Amino acid sequence: MNTLKKNKRKKIIRADEFDALFDAGKDITPYLDLNTATVVRRVNVDFPQWMLDRLDQEAVKLNVSRQAVIKMWINDRLASQTSEEYL
């Protein structure tokens, strides 16, 4: 039974080794935990210039990307909406 657990463990390597394998087109699946993988979907949203300017100002202030600001704000709003539904 101990052998079975060893076989199910994912191999662990450093990030630079992982990147090198990926860049070389090698199989990286032994290093992935597909049970906890998240599917990310891309969406396009059009913003007016004034909104982009404000998002960029906030991004600089928080020292993150514009995309991170958008994700954080949407996440905060969705979380507050969800908690309000249970009140």
In the block, tokens 């101990």 appear at 2
Give the model's pLDDT for residue 2. 47
The whole-model pTM stands at 0.56
Give the model's pLDDT for residue 3. 45
CA dihedral 51, 54, 59, 62 (to 10 degrees): -140
Whether residue 55 contacts residue 69, with contact meaning beta carbons closer than 8 Å, is answered with yes
Mean of per-residue pLDDT scores for the chain: 87
* Domains along the chain with CATH numbers: 1-37 (no CATH), 42-87 (1.10.1220)
Phi, psi of 64 (to 5 degrees): -135, 175
In the chain, the percentage of residues whose pLDDT exceeds 70 is 83
Q: Could you report the per-residue pLDDT of 28-67, keeping only the tens digit for each? A: 999 988 888 888 899 999 999 999 999 999 999 999 999 9
Pairwise CA distance, residues 61 & 64, whole Å: 8
Q: Could you report the per-residue pLDDT of 2-12, keeping only the tens digit for each? A: 444 444 566 78
